[in-house]
Amino acid sequence: MALRFYNTLTLRVEEFQPARDLTVRMYTCGPTVYDYAHIGNFRTFTFFDILRRVLRDRGFRLDHVMNITDVDDKIIRNATAQGKSLEEYTRVYTEAFLEDCKALRLERPEHLVRATEHIPEMVAAIRALSGKQYTYESEGSTYYRIASFPEYGKLSHNDFTGIKAGARVEVDTYDKNDARDFALWKAPKEGEPFWETEIGKGRPGWHIECSVMAMKYLGETLDIHGGGVDLIFPHHENEIAQSEALTGRPFARFWLHSEFLLVEGQRMGKSLGNYYTLRDLLSRGYQPETIRYLLASVPYRKALNFTFDGLKSAATAIERLRNFRLRLQTDAYPEGMNEKLRERTRSAERDFVASLEDDLNTAEALAAVFEYVRDMNTAMDSGEFRAGNAGPALDLLAHFDSIFEVLEPSAAAAGLSDEEVEKLIAERNRARRERNFARSDEIRQELLNQGIILEDTREGARWKRKLS
């Protein structure tokens, strides 16, 4: 089977192929760095990450651009209030964002680009649009005239032909001819930072940066453009209007959007007290891979209900996989190869891949892995498992982890060192040989208090660190 994605443009699942060669040209909307990113943001960024990994797993090369919006009204407001320059203000959150991504094991796109580093390109694009009569000026700002782009609404599937100029209450403080028109270039208000350019003093509107940076690095037509569902309108609709007006060509072939994240069944909001940044969760002791697992386990097109129960459940699920891997690595099996089990490994791998190819059905992909794990554990218990089956099984786990990446523990928090653990285990082994079970259990409990779990097996005691 081939890769298929649900395309917002057509509202259908379609087979995916890059337009040219095997390189996927992809643009995804990144963060606006005015604050720490929250888990809702990371739901979307985790989706991008899974998308990247699956594309590569299916043999494609990636040319992926993600923007960092480091100039917008909120940033200006906050920076001004703190008496900082834009650069000074956004640097903190940009770095925090990159750290968070790293913690969540999100791959870095080939191009991570900042809006403020592309002002000249944006100005050139706006001038080109003006040359084609798509714009008008008002009080020093430049607007895009939507009436001149008949296809407006094709992504959000809205029909705007009935909307009349002035029909809506003016909510923006800028003067526009039509409520749907949007700013390409905003004139500075008193005291606001600005760029001095050929189209006047000011700063870029939000939408133009994505059009410009996407096309600069990837060409006129992208294979994939991604973002959260809330960006479909107006952001992505406006990107299409700008880009296609400029080039006369389709801006993106596939539009992929991730659904919202809810917290305990409710929309996350600061006023509701259920607003969490990644940092909030980490400081509560949850491991990054636990969060990553939870975010990745629900297919991206379904709203994800983020709960603390869910985190606990995710941690336990990961432990099940880690236990299996530990067992593969530490238990001894009879020599040889069980061909039936070998074939079972192949079928699990096929199911795993087929699920991901089906519009990134991560839930089904996980099911394929867990079913496989159960079958292999059963085979181990019954003695059918052979030493030769361990390699393929570990390979399958590695394949799984090349997409989900949750098997390796994050840097251990402070606690006992490996050596200290081994020392205590040796002492416990002596106690057990002497059948001093009281002392033996005492040591086990002591270790457990330190987050170390002991398991006695035929090959002796093995241990692991508990995951939260």
Contact set for RNA, span 22-51 (CB under 7 A) = 29, 31-32, 40-41, 43-44
Structure-block tokens of residue 381: 């218990």
Q: What is the CA radius of gyration of the chain?
A: 27
Query: Judged by CB, which is closer to RNA: 49, or 259?
Result: 259
Q: In the window 197-226, what residues touch RNA (CB under 7 A)?
A: 206
Our finding on whether 441 is near RNA (CB under 7 A) is yes
The site that binds RNA (CB under 7 A) totals a number of residues, namely: 80
Our finding on whether 65 is near RNA (CB under 7 A) is no
Instruction: List the one residue out of 285, 235, 233, 259 whose CA is nearest residue 413.
Output: 285
Q: In the window 102-141, what residues touch RNA (CB under 7 A)?
A: none
Our finding on whether 231 is near RNA (CB under 7 A) is yes
Our finding on whether 353 is near RNA (CB under 7 A) is no
First vs last C-alpha separation in the chain: 37
Query: Judged by CB, which is closer to RNA: 292, or 327?
Result: 327
Q: In the window 303-332, what residues touch RNA (CB under 7 A)?
A: 303-305, 307, 309-310, 312-313, 316-317, 320, 323-324, 327
Q: Using CB under 7 A, which of the segments 119-127, 139-147, 371-379, 399-407 binds RNA?
A: 371-379
Our finding on whether 87 is near RNA (CB under 7 A) is no
Query: Judged by CB, which is closer to RNA: 195, or 206?
Result: 206
Our finding on whether 229 is near RNA (CB under 7 A) is yes
Our finding on whether 361 is near RNA (CB under 7 A) is yes
Query: Which residues contact residue 361 at a Cβ distance below 8 angstroms, ignoring those fewer than 6 apart?
Result: 299, 355
Alpha helices by DSSP H, 142-270: 206-218, 237-247
Task: Quickly count: other Cβ atoms within 10 Å of residue 54's Cβ.
Answer: 20
Q: Using CB under 7 A, which of the segments 53-61, 110-118, 152-160, 185-193 binds RNA?
A: 152-160
Our finding on whether 301 is near RNA (CB under 7 A) is yes
Alpha helices by DSSP H, 162-218: 206-218
Query: Which residues contact residue 199 at a Cβ distance below 8 angstroms, ignoring those fewer than 6 apart?
Result: 123, 126, 127, 130, 142, 185
Query: Judged by CB, which is closer to RNA: 217, or 463?
Result: 463
Q: Which residue in 10, 15, 22, 74 binds RNA (CB under 7 A)? A: 74
Separation CA 131–CA 129 (nearest Å): 5
- Give the type of residue at 199: I
Our finding on whether 456 is near RNA (CB under 7 A) is yes
**DSSP string covering 317-343:** HHHHHHHHHHHHHHS---SS--HHHHH
